[in-house]
Structure 1
């Protein structure tokens, strides 16, 4: 039997199956977590938490604010739906002023336009 190692180099490949079975039995109390990590584990669920820790454990990670992520997604959707004639419709749909919709789509048409300052 070969002695290849998995990604973490901590367990031999033939031990991984036993490790995976053992991990299924772990509870949140077995992990001895601080309050922040315990809250994260409860939010994600233990399986997702363990995957998250395996991927990002030990690294400094910035997590965007909830509102900022939703705002970026909303603005992207507005840009995709905008057709120059539907300001009022988009304003009602996204509960924004028409002026805010204009601000969001302001640079949309500029990408393929030639500027008088462009060099030929």
Structure 2
């Protein structure tokens, strides 16, 4: 189809032209962005993560950044997680950092 015709047809797209299951996405991002999504990912099944799932990474980075050595309880309250979660997260980060440092400082024998 000619590019001019596609542009003309895109200008006439309405929410009802999309399937019912796609309506919440149109409401959230608008018709233009929904059309772009169809262009780039149309026809594939795509998992859309839960909102809270997406916020886990930034939350964990914020907890790690704000940790001062003794504030596990205030961080747990602030981010609505348990103190055990905060301690485990910090321990996991320490292990990862130690592994990274060891790997950087190891001499390659080969």
Fold shared, TM-score > 0.5 on shorter chain: yes
- Equivalent residue number for residue 26 of structure 2: 41
Gaps of 5+ in 1: 1-9
* Aligned match for 2:95, one of 92, 96, 110: 110
1:77 partnered with 2:56: no
CA distance in 2, matches of 1:41, 1:95: 31
Gaps of 5+ in 2: none
Distance 1:112 1:99, change over 3 A: closer
Task: Tell me the TM-score normalised to structure 2 length.
Answer: 0.69
* Aligned match for 2:44, one of 43, 59, 80: 59
Answer with 1 or 2: which has the greater Rg. Answer: 1
Q: CA RMSD in A?
A: 2.7
CA distance in 1, matches of 2:93, 2:68: 10
Task: Tell me the TM-score normalised to structure 1 length.
Answer: 0.64
Aligned residue pairs: how many? 102
Structure 1 residue 22, shift from structure 2 partner: 4.2
Distance 1:111 1:100, change over 3 A: closer
Q: Spell out, residue by residue over 1:16-43, the C-alpha distance to the aligned partner (whole angstroms, 9 max, x if none).
A: 4x633542232223x2x33202343233
